[in-house]
Structure 1
Amino acid sequence: MRTNTKEDLIGQLKDNGLKITPQRLAIIDALVENRYEHPGATLIFHEARKKAGRVSLSTVYATLKEFSESGLIRQMQFDRLENRYDVDLSDHVNLICKRCGKVMDYHVPAPLDPKNIVRKSGFVVTDTRIEFHGYCRDCLKRPD
């Protein structure tokens, strides 16, 4: 599994020649601390402002775009949800609840592992995005 830690992301910023600013550090903290929630820009903005008060929403959007274009994080785009961001760059399936919008990771079973695909077909996988849409355990318990 390749989940970026705060230290990994800071190192990658340096490797990509990007400045380490208080705003970027606050955004990194928000991404890492909320990694299991797959945070959107709004949550990242609110969390980053707690750490570095002078963070604008436009700075958050620009930074997230820069981070995803540099390969530090993965941007997930949805039809009916705010874009979400993932620091887990390993190959995994996203389980997306249609009711509450929760996004959960489910790690790829061996037959779908890109290494197995390359070995069996010769096709080189450069990116994987598999989504299952349905209802999470919490929403299934609700009587709605």
Structure 2
Amino acid sequence: MDKQLRMTHQRELILDELRRGKTHPTADELYERIKKKLPRVSLATVYRNLEILSAAGLIKKLEISGRQKRFDWDPDDHDHVYCIQCQRVDNITLAAPVPQVESTHKQGYRITGRRVEFSGLCPKCVRQQEHHQAKGESSMSCPSCSASKLSDTQRQVLQALANTSEACGSKELAAATGLEAKQISCQITALKNKGYVDSPVRCKYAITDQGKQALE
């Protein structure tokens, strides 16, 4: 562990939650777990400490296909697979080593890392799909897919994000939509879970390519 990093109670709790669950939660998901033990902790504090722990090499920050950032308890190099329906992320082991780039083919780049990413349906979503197909129903009628539809309020927030060229905060979205801050916060969380909104800057939000497609 980096001796230069002061391990506060909040950071220890975040590390413990990540290691205990061994999943790949978003900052929002981890915040919901942390605040059960630290009711007064803020989402901004969780974001800040996750970034600090990631920069110190104690955890890994994942950016899966432009979706909301997730955090991995294991900082060592390994690869991932994500579900295109529910956005679950799991580790995956490759059957063969990843090819290395020959020095003559690096085109002047100094390569500092690599990422192999697979996508598909997780076991739970596969079972749901097979269940509905067996009943002769369209896969679009399953609960997970229905949950991906936009409500009028979500569409309003997403459209506001689509109309701006830069990431913006909740206050700016509230001004653009006429919604209250609590409504914005609730809808942003729902849109993040669907992969329609990302948070490229702490406490600021931007629409993803998938979010733009959802508006079409």
Would the TM-score normalized by the shorter structure come out above 0.5? yes
Over aligned residues, Cα RMSD in angstroms? 2.4
- Report the Cα distance in structure 2 between the residues aligned to 1:126 and 1:79, rounded to whole angstroms: 19
Q: Is the 8 A contact 1:93 1:129 kept in 2?
A: yes
State the Cα deviation string for residues 72-100 of structure 1 (Å, max 9, x = none): 11111245642100122333221110001
Q: Determine if the alignment matches structure 1 residue 127 to structure 2 residue 80.
A: no
Cα displacement (A) at 1:103: 0.5
CA 1:103 to 1:70, structure 2 compared with 1: closer, same or farther past 3 Å? same
Q: What SS does the corresponding residue of 2:25 show, helix, strand or coil? A: coil
Cα displacement (A) at 1:42: 1.2
Q: What is the match of residue 20 of structure 1?
A: 7
Q: Determine if the alignment matches structure 1 residue 38 to structure 2 residue 24.
A: yes
Q: Is the 8 A contact 1:93 1:131 kept in 2?
A: yes
Q: Which runs of 5+ in 1 are unaligned?
A: 1-11
Q: Is the 8 A contact 1:16 1:70 kept in 2?
A: no
TM-score normalized with structure 2 length: 0.51
Q: What is the match of residue 101 of structure 1?
A: 87
| Number of matched pairs | 125
Percent identical residues: 35
Runs of 4+ in 1 over 6 A off after TM superposition: 122-125
- Report the Cα distance in structure 2 between the residues aligned to 1:76 and 1:82, rounded to whole angstroms: 9
TM-score normalized with structure 1 length: 0.73
Which entry has the higher C-alpha Rg, 1 or 2? 2
- Report the Cα distance in structure 1 between the residues aligned to 2:6 and 2:76, rounded to whole angstroms: 26
